[in-house]
Structure 1
Amino acid sequence: MASATQVRTYLAHWFQLGKKLIWLNGEAELLPQPVIRGEKFSPQFEDCWQKIMSVDGKNCYLEGSSETIKDLLSSNWDINNCARCNMPVPIVEMGTQSLDCVCSDLQNWPNTELPAPRSPVSNSIQLNSIRSRLDAK
């Protein structure tokens, strides 16, 4: 079962590549920018997430996919990394799965020459980790 955190991360990664959220079956398209601000998700991303949660994810899905956010938050789905592009993708726990990745309609992706989309990172935690590795040598 995909947790809300995994679904948020899934959306954040794809938003960074320009994929839009289709809101209420096409009533609107949402693409918060920027997605990350400092060590946290941006207020724009948080507003988008709250909007999704206000309708329990019903009839909201990522451009290029058919699974709604409500589906992804159910016990039938999990989020794993795509074998082709290493981006988070929904995987059905039981039943048949489409072999297409959300990235299938992105030109020039995967592109290992560009920085990959990411989750927010705590600078202090990262720096402490680097310091610990250096101290160990």
Structure 2
Amino acid sequence: MASSEKVKLYLASWFQLGKKLVFDNGQEISLAHSIIKGDRFSDEFEACWQKVIAQGGTNCHLEGTETNLDALLSPAWDIFACARCNMPIPRLELGVQTVNCPCVDMPQWPNLELPLPRAPINSNSRLANINNRLMSKNATF
């Protein structure tokens, strides 16, 4: 089952490549231009995510896909890395799947010369972990 955090990261990753979120059968299209702000998601992205949660993911899907987010939040689906581009994609846990990666309509992707989209990073936490590992290595010498 795809957790809500996995689905949120799935959206954030594709938003960073310019994919949009389609609501209500195309009646509304949303794209947060600012996705990451320091060590957290931007307020603009969080507002979009809260709209998804308020609707329960019903009638909204990522541009270029057909699977609604309410389905992705169900136990039948999970989020995995695409074998072609390493981006997060939804995949059925069991059964036959006909869903393509959202990158299928992006002729310039994957572009391995550019960094992949990412999640927010807490630099202080990461540096503290590195420091702790170094300190434990020094203690063994």
TM range (shorter): over 0.9
What is the rounded CA distance, in whole Å, between the counterparts of 2:114 and 2:134 in structure 1? Answer: 27
Q: Which residue of 1 aligns with 2:67?
A: 67
Q: Which runs of 5+ in 1 are unaligned?
A: none
C-alpha distance in 2 between matches for 1:41 and 1:24? 24
Hey, what does 1:120 align to over in structure 2? 120
Matches within 5 A, 1:35-54: 35-54=35-54
How far residue 93 of structure 1 moved from its aligned partner, in angstroms, is: 1.1
Q: Percent identical across equivalent pairs?
A: 49
Q: Flag the structure with larger Rg.
A: 2
Report the alpha carbon displacement of residue 125 of structure 1 after superposing the two structures with TM: 1.4
Query: RMSD of the alignment, in Å?
Result: 1.3
What secondary structure does 1:117 align onto?
Answer: coil
Query: Which residue pairs with 1:32 in the alignment?
Result: 32
Shift of 1:31: 0.4
The aligned length equals 137
Output the amino acid matched with 2:86. Answer: N
Partner of 2:56: 56
SS of equivalent to 1:89: strand
Does 1:96 find its partner at 2:96? Answer: yes
Q: How does 1:9-28 map to 2 (within 5 A)?
A: 9-28=9-28
The answer to whether structure 1 residue 111 and structure 2 residue 111 are counterparts is: yes
Q: CA deviation at 1:115?
A: 1.1
1:127 partner amino acid: L
Helix, strand or coil at the partner of 2:32: coil
Distance 1:53 1:27 in 2: 18
Q: Which amino acid aligns with 2:97?
A: Q
Farther off after superposition, 90-99 or 45-54: 90-99
Partner deviation per Cα, 1:26-57 (whole Å, 9 max, x = no partner): 01110012100000000001100111111111
Which aligned runs of 4 or more in structure 1 are off by greater than 4 angstroms?
none
Partner of 1:81: 81
